[in-house]
Amino acid sequence: MSRKRVLYLLLGPAAAMVCFLLLPHGVFATSQSRMALGIVAWMAIWWVAGPVDYAVTAFIPIAVNALYPMVDMSTLIANYASETIMLLLGASILTVTWEETGLDKRIALGVLSMVGNNFRTQIIFWFLLSAVLSAVLPNAVVCATITPIAVAMLSYIGEGDIGSSKKGSKLLLTIAYAAGMGGLATPLGGAMNLVTVSAIQQVTGEEYAYSDWVVRFLPIMIILLVSNIIFMLHGVSRDEKLEGSREYLQGEFKKMPPMSKEEKWSLGLFVVAVILSFTRQFYQDLLPGLTPAYVFIICAVIAFLIVKENGVRLIRWNKIQGKIVWGLMYVFAGGLALGTLINDSGAAEDIGKMVSKMNLSNTLFMVFIIVTVTLLLSDVTSNTATASVAMPIVISICNGMGLDPIPYIYVASIGVNLSYMLPTSIRAIPVGYGLSPKYMFSQGWKMSIMVIILMTAAAYILLPFLGA
């Protein structure tokens, strides 16, 4: 075991003890609230430094709460089998069927085969494809699906050495950025968005309509799409080409057999689940128990009933369980548990009271801080972990200041979804295919500054709309 890993392992619980012992007792009146904040520090350090797997860190709330009770254990454990976890599980099973049937590759090749050889057009098309798919599919799935297709095309046209290829590096970076940013468009874009949905439902006490998300983030998405594409096109001349790329993609698409029955089922089940999730308000009186989580679970169960034309079942549990990203669900659950610790221990109320005494009335500065902190934290740890830590704190601060927390929750979600500099999360995928981390950082810090400025201004102007 390396000394650095040992240091990080010890730093987590040490930070927790420092919070427990040294946080001002006049502000955090109970030992439970101080310990809860200590757990936040512990989990943040381990999620950032990574001395253990992210999923392992997610179980710290249970372990510590068993030794030093801060909240009701049954309430805490409920987070690990919450309705949102069911939605993640159902969506994961459905997207695995895309891979099993080859539907993911068919869609990507079919769309991209229409693109010409112009490099600027290629960048725009790869960006839009990745962003649109990420709106309804996990961004990791999109990045892992699109990246190898791009690499195969680049190899075919003589740009296979990604590390030394300017065009190859820019194209893979385009896919990674778009796959991450696209998730902001809908609640289905990633687990981090479901954290936001849970936070909003906690504040309002009402079921959240997914269509509200799309409407509120539409102007934000337009600004992000335009600005990100302009950034990626910088330095690319209008007549620069990727000779042979269109021919390669068209050839690969033509090799594919006609769309099979199981591909149609896989696509149909996912489309049905998405449509029902977004139109919940039209049938919620008739079927009050059929929330989006259970829509996805039902469609996932149906997927196990599909039989291929050769009589073999499309998916079986013993095969599909190895392709589901279980760690993602546990990280998400751990974040929810962290929110329970902060709220039920009294720490959230203490934080709110403390901030309310600061007379922080400059909402522009507050928006800037939220966007900057969440974006930078998302760069060094998972988006889901960042959302899980940030949302309860944002709610506490707003409650302490007497502000409506809803628009600021949306603002925090913007930063949570955007990260550009480091080869963490989905950005590790193109690095695995040869993209230089140095190149990623050199482009990422410039992109981060631009996005922070744009999103601070846009979110501040749109605050009344976000809270409407």
Give the pLDDT score at 170: 93
8 Å CB contact between 204 and 409: no
Sign of CA dihedral 430, 434, 435, 441: positive
Give the pLDDT score at 11: 94
The token duo for 406 is 């809803």
Eight-class DSSP state of 307? B
8 Å CB contact between 204 and 397: no
Kindly provide the b/e burial profile for residues 174-190, where b requires at least 16 CB atoms within 10 angstroms of the residue's own CB: bbbbbbbbbbbbbbbbb
In degrees and rounded to multiples of 5, residue 260 shows phi and psi of -80, 165
The secondary structure of 310-322 as a DSSP string is: TS-BS--HHHHTT
Distance from C-alpha of 80 to C-alpha of 77, rounded to nearest angstrom? 6
Nearest one of 290, 397, 403 to 352, comparing CA atoms: 397
Max intra-chain CA distance, the chain: 71
8 Å CB contact between 156 and 244: yes
8 Å CB contact between 13 and 35: no
Give the pLDDT score at 123: 92
Residue 41: CA count within 13 A, CB half-sphere: 18
Mean pLDDT per 10-residue interval, the chain, length 468 residues: 87 94 86 90 80 86 94 91 79 79 74 74 90 80 74 72 85 92 87 86 86 92 95 87 71 85 87 79 84 87 87 84 76 78 80 64 85 82 75 82 89 91 74 81 92 95 86
3 state DSSP class of 241: strand
Distance from C-alpha of 440 to C-alpha of 165, rounded to nearest angstrom? 13
Residues 6 or more apart from 98 whose CB is under 8 A from it?
104, 137, 141, 266, 267, 270
Give the pLDDT score at 60: 94
Distance from C-alpha of 136 to C-alpha of 85, rounded to nearest angstrom? 16
| Alpha-helical runs (H) found in 23-53 | 31-49
Give residue for tokens 């998400």: 332
Give the pLDDT score at 443: 92
8 Å CB contact between 305 and 103: no
Give residue for tokens 């990727």: 242
Give the pLDDT score at 19: 92
Give the pLDDT score at 380: 63
**Which long-range CB contacts under 8 A does 257-260 form with residues at least 24 apart?**
259/106, 260/101, 260/308, 260/309
The token duo for 411 is 């603002």
3 state DSSP class of 235: coil
Give the pLDDT score at 245: 64
Distance from C-alpha of 369 to C-alpha of 352, rounded to nearest angstrom? 16
Distance from C-alpha of 98 to C-alpha of 104, rounded to nearest angstrom? 5
Nearest one of 272, 322, 287 to 136, comparing CA atoms: 272
8 Å CB contact between 466 and 406: yes
8 Å CB contact between 169 and 163: yes
Alpha carbon separation from 325 to 88, 211, 301, 318 (Å, rounded): 10, 27, 18, 14
Give the pLDDT score at 398: 83
